[in-house]
Structure 1
Amino acid sequence: MSAITVETPHGPSRLTVHLAPDARAVLLLGHGAGGGIGAFDLVTLAAQLPPQGITVVLHEQPWRVAGKRIAARPPILDDGWRPALEAMLARYPGVPLWVGGRSAGARVACRCYDECQAGVVCLAFPLHPPGKPENSRIAELAGVTGPVLVVQGERDPFGSPEDVRAATQEAGGAQPQIVAVPGAHSFNRGAATRVVTAVAEFLT
């Protein structure tokens, strides 16, 4: 494991690299608005995917690196993410770069997706604020033109797997692969095997 500092317009971000020997893919993951890279699913993927040939890189937004408790606004989050994308493309040329994240990190990855990236992994995509389905963020998810995996808790108040499926079908276009796992918005040990299996198979 190694750490890399990447400068952004809003201060330094930090990349923690969990290296796979002879990696066949790189997965860059961002954290959510309420926590950092210590989230259970991010830690689990960083531990279990490298032995399967996938380098996992966990991205910390500048606001987290600076020790702040309140997440930045979406445009600032995007500014904090794009330099990490450029750094990974330069560091691992010729290796497919998959991107994604947990909750708000998944939204950032969707908004910033382009053809230089292989696809997006969304862990607990926050389709809408709890209790406010009218405030949908489906446009961010539907705007990704490449492959998308959504791993969603069965009881997620930000949108169940069924909610995400219905919203993506209504939005039209390419449909994401949706995998339901036990739990709500935060995953735990009961979901670990299904999360790792779903992501590993998606990146194959």
Structure 2
Amino acid sequence: MRIETSAGPAEIELDRPRKPAFLLVLTHGSGGGVDAKDILTVREAALDLGGAVARVTQPYRVAGRRAPGSAVKQDEAWLEIVADLRKRIKKVPLIQGGRSNGARVACRTAIAVQARGVIALSFPLHPPGKPEKTRREELLDAGDIEVVVINGGSDPFGIPDAADAAEVRVIPGQPHSFRTGFDVIAETVTPWLERWSK
């Protein structure tokens, strides 16, 4: 399905049970897609708990670009996408998340969309080799909303500190794009999502 935004159309893959317990909205990294194995792992965990899952291909990717451009415009389009999805799936808790750049968007907009929590896969704490250019404040943008971070232990984009999120799970030896450890991702997000499945 497509949702029109001020930045162009977004494409949504929506898995919706008859009576969803919650809505989980997930998105990709800068040059990636919504079929990344870590995103699919989180999707499966949410579906097993009775959640509805919307995997969002953001407008810049639908348009064929690899970089998101302006963070302000990206966030504005995200708010429009989530508002549309909430009209379709009403009166359930909202959780949002993504991998890499998508995790940044989810953190930056969490308060504005009144999310109950954020799942941040491979949160890019800083550009590779430039730890002084930290993006820690984006994690903190979520305020009191719980953020669960899952990063690879060898991620050149860095690993957030335990104090920066409700939970920081590190998968040893994994780079920015996970090659293994999908069982750890499932084990981490399942109990956290369970609170909204009851």
For 1:203, the equivalent position in structure 2 comes to 193
Report matched runs for 1:162-181 at 5 Å.
Answer: 164-165=160-161, 168=164, 175-181=165-171
Query: Residue 137 of structure 2 aligns with which residue?
Result: 139
* Structure-2 residue corresponding to 1:156: 155
Give the conservation status (yes or no) of the 8 Å contact 1:18–1:47.
Answer: no
Give the Cα separation in 2 of the matches to 1:34 and 1:202. 28
Find the residue that maps to 2:161 and give its secondary structure: helix
Question: Residues of 2 paired with 1:30 and 1:69: CA distance?
Answer: 14
Equivalent residue for 2:74, pick from 72, 77, 98: 77
How far residue 75 of structure 1 moved from its aligned partner, in angstroms, is 1.5
SS of structure 1 residue aligned to 2:120: strand
Q: Which residue number corresponds to residue 177 of structure 2?
A: 186
State the Cα distance separating 1:116 from its structure 2 match: 2.1
Equivalent runs, 1:1-204 vs 2, <5 Å: 4-114=1-111, 116-145=114-143, 146-160=145-159, 164-165=160-161, 168=164, 175-182=165-172, 183-188=174-179, 190-204=180-194
Gaps of 5+ in 1: 169-174
Instruction: Provide the rounded CA distance (Å) in 1 between the counterparts of 2:162 and 2:114.
Output: 28
Amino acid at match of 2:177: S
RMSD between aligned residues: 1.7
Q: Is the 8 A contact 2:10 2:59 kept in 1?
A: yes
* Equivalent-residue separation in structure 2 for 1:123 and 1:139 (angstroms): 17
Whole-Å separation in 2 of the counterparts to 1:148 and 1:180: 14
SS at match of 2:149: strand
- Give distance in 2, aligned partners of 1:139 and 1:101: 17
Q: Distance in 1 between matches of 2:105 and 2:16?
A: 23
Normalising to structure 1: TM-score of the pair? Answer: 0.86
For the residue of structure 1 that corresponds to 2:123, the secondary structure is coil
| Residue ranges of structure 2 left out of the alignment (5+ in a row) | none
Percent of aligned pairs sharing the same letter? 37
Q: 1:149 to 1:100 in 2, by over 3 A?
A: same
In the TM superposition, what is the alpha-carbon distance from 1:147 to its structure 2 partner?
A: 0.9
Query: How much has 1:167 moved relative to structure 2?
Result: 6.7
Asked whether the 8 Å contact 1:20–1:55 carries over to 2, the reply is yes
Q: TM-score, normalised by structure 2?
A: 0.89
Q: Which moved more, 1:18-27 or 1:95-104?
A: 18-27
Amino acid across the alignment from 1:86: A
Partners of 1:70 and 1:158 lie apart in 2 by: 16
Change (3 A) 1:131 1:167: farther
Aligned residue for 2:69, secondary structure, equals coil
